Amino acid sequence: MPSLRNRLPAFVLLMALFALPAGQLLAQRMPFQNQPSLAGNNDADTDGSEFHFARLIYGGNGADRGFRGRGSWTTDWPEAEHFFMEGVTRLTRVDGARVSIYNGQGGERISLTEGNVFDYPWLYAVEVGRWSLSNDEALIMRDYLLRGGFLMVDDFHGSQEWGGFITTMQRVFPDRPIVDIAEDHEVFHVLYDLDEKVQIPGLASLYSGVTYERDGYDPHWRGIFDDDGRLLVAINHNMDLGDAWEHADTPGYPEPMTALAYRFAVNYVIYAMTH
């Protein structure tokens, strides 16, 4: 597994990546049966895989009511990473560690203050409209990203949650603007050509007959870049890719939405692993 500890911005992994039809993703959904402790992580690279799903642990900002009593950072855990990693290993030649749907084994839950974030080039944070980082965590996140790490944020909606996200993100990067990612940017074309930009909804929104939540009517693909133009943070606002992964084989969740959510996230992974 590549390490970010010493030198990230210049590293490039030479991987043979061959896209397969998204329809070949045929995961079997298992019932949610686990209630394990969420503390701690696996040792890095326990099975020799070059890529692990890494999920950020964060504290709440006062609006965090939690998910199943576990905190908003756990939303869709571990089903989202289970089905996403099933997709990564089937849709690409990336050597990804599969994640247990019962207890999340194989995935990583990253506390910034433990220091192991630098072992993982790609980091996922969910429900970031409710997140908060301490001063130390914000400094570590900044260091991680400037050394070559990549952060994908997902599943936050509307103006109020955008404000919650900005409040913390500006403490990480007070000097870097958030901008719309250009249609021709490499992250949209590094493996899949992502010319279709539609709102990817959560399951509950679909069941209520809409694709948006709160006043988040329009989807936005935004980012933060370093001085050399490398994308550091991929911001998926007013959409819920994690739900689309989690419900990859849920009857009633549209397969085209899941397929598109996979393509976006796979592109983020490949971009992170090669930049």
Model confidence over 51-73: pLDDT tens digits? 999 999 998 754 444 444 468 99
pLDDT at residue 228 above 90? yes
Cis peptide before 121 (omega within 30 of 0): no
Question: Considering the chain, what is the average pLDDT of its residues?
Answer: 84
Question: Is 251 within 8 Å of 233 (Cβ atoms)?
Answer: no
Question: Is 269 within 8 Å of 51 (Cβ atoms)?
Answer: yes
Q: 25 is written with which tokens?
A: 């993703």
Residue-wise pLDDT for 20-58, tens only, equals 334 333 332 322 223 333 333 444 445 578 999 999 999
Domains and CATH numbers, the chain: 48-274 (3.40.50.12140)
Q: What are phi and psi of 269, to 5 degrees?
A: -65, -50
pLDDT, residue 46, reads 53
What is the spatial distance between Cα 200 and Cα 241, in angstroms, rounded to a whole number? 6
